[in-house]
Structure 1
Amino acid sequence: MNACSVRLQIFLQLQAVNKELCSKFESCLGASPSRIEILHYLLQHEEVTQSALQGEVNIDAAAVTRHLKQLEAAGTIVRYKKANDQRATWVKLEEEAKRHIQQSFHEKSQFVDETLAGFSDAELEQFLQMLSKVSENVSRVTKKQLGGENHEPNV
């Protein structure tokens, strides 16, 4: 196989693995990646203002608000104002939801362990470095494209 063909095969394999991982991971946790990010942040923090949450997660503010409204309607979170500060809206997980999420994250951890089974610590370190390099390259290419530069792919 020539270098161009190998690069294409790697790219296609990354796409296929990503699609399958996302599907399995979401079914394992029963939520989208954005919602998982919100829930994980709330699990780590007892209570937080909605504006602070919006600043901490990598999701636009309008989407965070939509997720929070849906989570509130489902009884997963509570949004409230404090007596001493009526300007800020505070968010926290309901206790039952917290237990459920902790169990889901335990299942997620098992899923990750099983997915990466058979790799040595050294292989995992090398794999992480390689994925980081791919991520940096994707960011660089994306920035170039957003900057209006034409760039011919090396495929």
Structure 2
Amino acid sequence: MNLRDISKLLYQIKLTNQEITTLFEKETGFSLTRYEMLMFLKEKGSCSQNQIQTELKIDSAAITRHLKILEQKGYVLRERNAENNREVFVRLTDKAIQELDACGKEQDQDRMGISLSLSDEEAEQLSQLLNKLHLNREQERG
């Protein structure tokens, strides 16, 4: 694959990403990053800010900014570790759990909203291809 073909493919991915993430935010009321943060917390329970940062591959300034917004909206509570004042633990509020559940139910009932127009098999293939690209980049770096 030559450089021009690669740039066309990457640009197509970029445009598609912009369109889909804008639709996701419009339909759910959450940015994709904040939704992933909330779902990680929902699945894992209380965890450190560093764990969220590592899992979602977000820099420390961005994670702090996102968590501050989520805290102001009443979705998360942040508490310093009494034994290590530098460590911050984060957990979901009841409000966040209720809104995430309602959002999921609404999207399950109304498939017209966020739809990638892919079959389950196509979505799995896309996921595998994206994982392959990601893993190849990690291997080249490390």
The TM tier, using the shorter chain, reads 0.5 to 0.7
Structure 1-normalised TM-score? 0.63
The residue that corresponds to 1:151 in the other structure is none
Question: How many pairs align?
Answer: 135
The residue that corresponds to 1:92 in the other structure is 91
Gaps of 5+ in 2: none
**Cα root mean square deviation, aligned:** 3.6
Question: CA 1:126–1:77 in 2, change beyond 3 Å: closer, same or farther?
Answer: closer
**CA contact 1:25–1:108 (8 Å) conserved in 2:** no
Displacement of 1:25 in angstroms is: 0.7
Q: Secondary structure of 2:79's partner? A: strand
The residue that corresponds to 2:79 in the other structure is 80
Structure 2-normalised TM-score? 0.67
The residue that corresponds to 1:149 in the other structure is none
Displacement of 1:42 in angstroms is: 1.1
Question: CA 1:101–1:8 in 2, change beyond 3 Å: closer, same or farther?
Answer: same
Q: Which has the higher contact order (CA 8 A, sep 6+)?
A: 1
**CA contact 1:79–1:91 (8 Å) conserved in 2:** yes
CA–CA distance in structure 2, aligned partners of residues 99 and 12 of structure 1? 37
**CA contact 2:74–2:95 (8 Å) conserved in 1:** no
Larger Rg: 1
Sequence identity (%): 29
